Structure 1
Amino acid sequence: MTSENQPIAAMDSLLQASKVNIIPNQEYLLQGSILDVQVQRLLHRLKGLCDNVETAPEQFHDYEACFSLRNIADEQAIHTAPLLLRVRRSNDPADSHMPWQLRYVGNPELGDTKRPTLVRSCFDISCSPSIMEFLTEMGCRLEFEYTVRGYLFRKGRMKITVSKIFRPMNQEPLSGSYLVELSLLAPVGADAVAEDMRVFAEKLKPLVILEKIDHRRIAPN
């Protein structure tokens, strides 16, 4: 196969994988928070529940920026939510060789009240450090940015993060609490994983209450 045909073949493979639902493009998510004074108790509990029991939890220190893109030529677009794209990179010098991450997150599917988790489309793409310049040239606007430090746990396919958010300029914490997220990436139709997440979330009570959160209700006007 020639190099000219390789991108075409890769795209064909991606489309075929999408048709048979093997691409993990759905994020199942539960969120909550815990006060700083209680976070060590939660970390101890997670260490006993998760797979990396015999080792310290993985730590991370990342920078994240959120960009928005709106079709200003379309009058109807003024009244619709813009496309949001998130760019993330590690602030750890040891990870300087790692690629930047571009993430698209769709609107949450909240219609099914019986579903125990929030579900939304999610695509992650590795990219070069010039991604922020590229998005700006495309007409995207920087909405906000922050740094986040925390701990990462894994339980099977589930990922649990306990993180604190800081202002990027002076590293001032935004609150006196930690954000706790339980998430899992799966193909479309894998709703059975949501029940596994609900069961795991029950084990963290009453330290932290993980639940579906409609971010549209808390977003500023």
Structure 2
Amino acid sequence: MKFRSVFDIIGPVMIGPSSSHTAGAARIGLVARNLFGRQPEWARIHLYGSFAETYKGHSTDVAIIGGLLGYDTFDERIKTAFSEADKVGMTYEFIPEEEEADHPNTARVVIGDSQSVMELTGISIGGGKMEVVDLNGFSLRLSGHYPALLVVHDDRAGLIASVSNALANRDINIAHMEVGRKEKGEMALMVIEVDQLIDESLIEELKALPHITQVSTVAD
């Protein structure tokens, strides 16, 4: 097994008793918040497997809410995330599910406001790491440990090449890439994890390409 750094072995700097149940959960919430692009007004969190059984004792619930407020794993404010959520007016509900998921530490996070609703399924894979495995019905694999672009677009020939060329022109290396679509010719999604930071000018360039409807980013 290869490790990227010593932190893959000893785990992340974090608040809470468990890297899997607390730090990983906080990262799921934080990635959901980043993809949504703003503070959600409400959250409905479905918990599966071990998350459903132990979420109160292991502070999984507090950690996810902290992530949805924009707090990283080391942020002391995670401890008071419930009261902080009350202050900003974000309501939340936890729903332990009895059905089995593919992974024992699974959370399906549904968040929204008056403008839109987003649904994300994340799994905590240990050591504070997590993966997004579903976003609004698209199956994918997004680790949250690399800067990433999520590009929603119409399913048209040449779009993947246009986005890849825009990255290459800036000497941005692609670490991982997935492409999925709902139906032929309809809505599609590119998930691109890269080795370099993503600046606003690249986002604007991608948004200006034909048939691209949304560009979101996740920072490392």
Q: What is the TM-score normalised by the length of structure 2?
A: 0.27
TM-score (ref. length: structure 1): 0.27
- 1 or 2, which has the higher helix percentage? 2
Rg larger in structure: 1
